[in-house]
Amino acid sequence: MKRILFLLICLSPVCTIHAQETKDTIEHYLGFTGRVCEPQYARYYELAYRDGNFWKVKRFYLTTQTKAMEGYYEKYENDTFSVEQGMFLNYHRNGKVMQKVRYNNGLKEGVLKGYDSTGKLIDSGFYKKGVPYKIHYKWSDAGAVVFKGVYDTTGTGIGEEHEYYEDGSLSSYGKTGPNGLKDSIWTYYYINGRISSKETYVKDSMITMVCYNPDGTVSSKDCEIMIMPEPTFDIAKHLLENLHYPDDAKNNYIEGSITVQFVVTKSGELKDIKSIGKYVGGGCDEEAIRVVKIMPKWKPGKLHNRPMDIYYAQRISFRLE
């Protein structure tokens, strides 16, 4: 048998619909973006059943078979659940709670709390009818404040938001208008304190953007809010030279696609490399991760004209012919 290794790079894997349902029970496979898809492209398995007037929905990570989310929805149509009701819980792969928040008629209501994978509180804020009010804080893994939102106490969403680097220096600042939408000039800063971009928003829509170089001069290049990372090498060639079809997979006629997710850091290095799709087996998953780990540095991505750590997803498929 001749082996062919096929690579498809994707930011949001294209999925075709795959759903099984009865009158009171629905089963879905969901892709990286949360859309219904075929099992071979899936990241999650979703099970829903009727509970009175609501749908009780549970979502599971396919790679670990642990719970990813649970909560109640009021409606189901076009393969989508909508109008959240009651407490929603999201989980890390290790089973610890990632976020919990209560909904009323599809809108966040009360206290939102977020946790890291060890259970430490890293996100806490108040919502009224889906709009932030009072105060909202986020913390880094080291415990430093990285976000502070201050809003009026009536629930209009009018207020201001600050983001900070880990050393406490200002990363961004802007004001919010009704419903907590960006509604002013938002200023973003490099770590050296100089302005990286000024962006004018009206009701959360960006109207203008001016970018600056780290030395303070206006950039002559086109401005974009986000620029995705790019490889500095030929990925197809890298795979042909380094990727091997595991013997166990070949001997057992195992085929499949693995979606590998990783972070391209500000310096272009790759970290947090892991498989996020359905487990293929036969050593294919481990081989896909290995070949990504030995990739050369990438060109870093940018957010608000600043180098940023950005997630990237790449699909690697093993086919026998």
What's the whole-number mean pLDDT along residues 244-264?
90
Q: Given pLDDT bands bounded at 50, 70 and 90, which one contains residue 41?
A: confident
Give the domain extent around 195.
Answer: 125-223
- How far CA 59 is from CA of 22, 48, 97, 202, 287, in Å, comes to 18, 9, 13, 36, 27
Task: Write the pLDDT tens digit of every residue in 131-186.
Answer: 999 999 999 988 999 999 999 999 999 999 999 999 999 999 999 999 999 999 99
Residue 88 CA to chain centroid, in angstroms? 18
- Decide if 192 is inside a domain: yes
Same structural domain, 204 and 235:
no
- Decide if 207 is inside a domain: yes
Q: What angle do CA 216, 217, 218 make, to 5 degrees?
A: 120
How many CA atoms lie less than 13 Å away from 121 in the CB half-sphere?
A: 9
How many structural domains are present in the chain?
Answer: 3
CATH at residue 246:
3.30.2420.10
Q: Given pLDDT bands bounded at 50, 70 and 90, which one contains residue 46?
A: very high
With a cut of 60, say whether residue 231 has pLDDT above it: yes
With a cut of 60, say whether residue 2 has pLDDT above it: no
What's the whole-number mean pLDDT along residues 303-312?
93
Q: CA 197 to CA 212: how far, in whole Å? A: 6
Same structural domain, 194 and 240:
no
The structure tokens listed for 25 are 């029970």
Q: CA 43 to CA 274: how far, in whole Å? A: 12
- Specify the pLDDT at position 22: 54
- Specify the pLDDT at position 16: 43
- Specify the pLDDT at position 257: 86
Same structural domain, 195 and 148:
yes
With CA atoms as reference, report the closest residue to 261 among 38, 33, 67, 37: 33
CATH at residue 135:
3.90.930.1
- Decide if 208 is inside a domain: yes
- Specify the pLDDT at position 281: 87
Q: Helix and strand tally (H, E) in the chain?
A: 3, 26
Of the candidates 77, 102, 119, which is a domain's last residue?
119
Count CB neighbours of 54 within 10 A.
Answer: 19
- How far CA 195 is from CA of 171, 211, 219, 223, 293, in Å, comes to 9, 8, 11, 14, 34
Q: CA 231 to CA 7: how far, in whole Å? A: 14
Of the candidates 98, 119, 140, which is a domain's last residue?
119
- Decide if 12 is inside a domain: no
- Decide if 36 is inside a domain: no
The structure tokens listed for 3 are 């082996």
- Specify the pLDDT at position 11: 36
With a cut of 60, say whether residue 1 has pLDDT above it: no
Same structural domain, 129 and 215:
yes
Task: Map tokens 């997803």 to a residue.
Answer: 313
Following DSSP, what letter does each residue of 274-312 receive, concatenated? EE-S----TTHHHHHHHHHHTPPPEEPEEETTEEE-EEE
Same structural domain, 204 and 135:
yes
What's the whole-number mean pLDDT along residues 115-128?
96
Same structural domain, 255 and 300:
yes
- Decide if 14 is inside a domain: no
Burial of 10 (0-12, 13-18, 19+ CB in 10 A): middle
- Specify the pLDDT at position 273: 95
3-state helix, strand, coil split of the chain in percent (to 5) is: 10, 55, 40
- Decide if 15 is inside a domain: no
The structure tokens listed for 9 are 């790079």
- Decide if 217 is inside a domain: yes
Of the candidates 59, 89, 119, which is a domain's last residue?
119
What's the whole-number mean pLDDT along residues 45-62?
93
Same structural domain, 56 and 111:
yes
